[in-house]
């Protein structure tokens, strides 16, 4: 187990180095100049040169990259010229707000998706199975921003039950959480349904039924454990997708999280914040994938034997 963890961590370090290097190049070759944004169109050449020198943008790109990596090792991404605070501090503050949204939507998606998948897979071909499958396909087909807009139109504008934007109360969390949870619920439900159908065909399931166990006992006591394996995998892999989806959802609902911070920073060419956010996002995705691997190894005894 320790060897597996160390191996995953080493791979994660390489992934984070690659992500940090890639975003360093992207923000510098992209069109636009943060100096011009800061000083405005009326700035003189002397002012532009002075600010470029203070930001270190006049140095060769290779020199900037080496200096950048030296600071990354210390988790020092410099100060945001737009916000006036350390970039990593701003990112971590916003990450806690985004984490609240991600964890709530993931919990809803996993619980609801497992329930619907078990109901559909336990009776393949039934009315419940067809309804769940059709609803899952429909939810996966709708863009996330469209789901958010429809929820705002219905629950915020038409029924006036929930706020349409902002944060600060549990009510503000409901609509963005549901928006992020619905497409993921569809994925979990379809995956669980397929896994349950395949598991129920296994010989040991027939043996359990021959012992007099009810369908419910077989489903929950025997089929559920093996059906969780692909779900655990997809949860770990989908965390990156949730981070990307948070960018859209947070802008639709004016949620003050990491996604909205990244959009504002990209628009204003705030290099430090963009680089710090990319590094943190890569680290979060790596940790979730590691956690998924560990949970998977505990659910599947074959992996524990291979790792021992």
Spatial neighbors of 265 by CB under 8 A, at least 6 apart, are 80, 82, 273, 274, 277
**What local confidence, expressed as pLDDT, does residue 306 receive?**
47
Tens of pLDDT, residue by residue over 174-207, are: 999 999 999 999 999 998 888 888 877 777 777 7
**What local confidence, expressed as pLDDT, does residue 303 receive?**
53
Tens of pLDDT, residue by residue over 31-67, are: 666 666 666 667 777 777 777 776 667 778 788 888 8
Spatial neighbors of 79 by CB under 8 A, at least 6 apart, are 85, 86, 87, 272
Query: What value does the mean pLDDT take over residues 278-293?
Result: 81
**What local confidence, expressed as pLDDT, does residue 32 receive?**
62
Residue 266 lies inside a defined structural domain of this protein: yes
| pTM of the full structure | 0.76
The count of domains in the chain is 1
Residue 265 lies inside a defined structural domain of this protein: yes
User: Do you know the residue count of the chain?
Assistant: 308
Helices 224-252 and 87-122 pack at an angle, to 10 degrees, of 130
Residue 308 reports pLDDT greater than 70 = no
Q: Taking the mean position of all CA atoms in its chain, how far away is CA 215? A: 36
Residue 94 lies inside a defined structural domain of this protein: no
Is residue 229 within 8 Å of 92, Cβ to Cβ? no
Residue 92 lies inside a defined structural domain of this protein: no
Residue 218 reports pLDDT greater than 80 = no
Residue 31 lies inside a defined structural domain of this protein: no
What CATH number does the domain containing 167 carry?
1.10.3720.10
Query: Could you tell me the residue range of the domain that residue 155 belongs to?
Result: 99-270
Residue 243 lies inside a defined structural domain of this protein: yes
Task: Give the Cα separation of 292 and 199 in Å (integer).
Answer: 21
Residue 51 lies inside a defined structural domain of this protein: no
- Give the chain's mean pLDDT: 81
Give CA separation, 55 vs 11, 38, 47, in Å.
Answer: 32, 12, 12
Which runs of E-coded beta strand occur in 154-275?
none
pLDDT bucket at 108, cuts 50 / 70 / 90: very high
Residue 38 lies inside a defined structural domain of this protein: no
Mean pLDDT is highest, among 110-124, 207-221, 286-300, for 110-124
**What local confidence, expressed as pLDDT, does residue 151 receive?**
93
């Amino acid at each position: 187990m320790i060897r597996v963890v160390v191996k995953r961590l080493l791979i994660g370090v390489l992934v984070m180095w690659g992500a940090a290097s890639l975003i360093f190049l992207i923000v510098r070759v992209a069109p636009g100049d943060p100096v011009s944004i800061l000083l405005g169109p009326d700035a003189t050449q002397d002012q532009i040169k002075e600010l470029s020198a203070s930001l270190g943008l006049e140095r060769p790109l290779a020199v900037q990259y080496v200096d950048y990596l030296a600071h990354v090792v210390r988790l020092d991404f410099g100060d945001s010229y737009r916000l006036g605070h350390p970039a990593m501090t701003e990112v971590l503050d916003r990450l806690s707000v985004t984490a609240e949204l991600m964890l709530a939507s993931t919990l809803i998606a996993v619980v609801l998706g497992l329930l619907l998948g078990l109901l559909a897979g336990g009776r393949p071909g039934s009315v419940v199975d067809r309804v769940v499958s059709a609803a899952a396909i429909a939810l996966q087909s709708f863009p996330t921003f469209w789901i958010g807009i429809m929820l705002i139109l219905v629950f915020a504008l038409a029924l006036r039950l929930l706020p349409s934007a902002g944060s600060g109360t549990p009510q503000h969390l409901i609509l963005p959480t549901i928006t992020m949870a619905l497409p993921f619920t569809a994925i979990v439900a379809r995956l669980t349904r397929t896994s349950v159908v395949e598991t129920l065909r296994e010989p040991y399931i027939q043996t359990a039924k021959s012992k007099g166990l009810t369908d419910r006992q077989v489903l929950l006591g025997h089929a559920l454990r093996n059906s969780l394996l692909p779900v655990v995998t997809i949860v770990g892999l989908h965390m990156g997708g949730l981070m990307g989806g948070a960018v859209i959802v947070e802008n639709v609902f004016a949620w003050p999280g990491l996604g909205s911070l990244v959009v504002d920073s990209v628009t204003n060419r705030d290099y430090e914040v963009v680089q710090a956010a990319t590094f943190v996002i890569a680290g979060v995705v790596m940790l979730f994938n590691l956690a998924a691997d560990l949970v998977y190894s505990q659910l599947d005894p074959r992996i524990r034997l291979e790792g021992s």
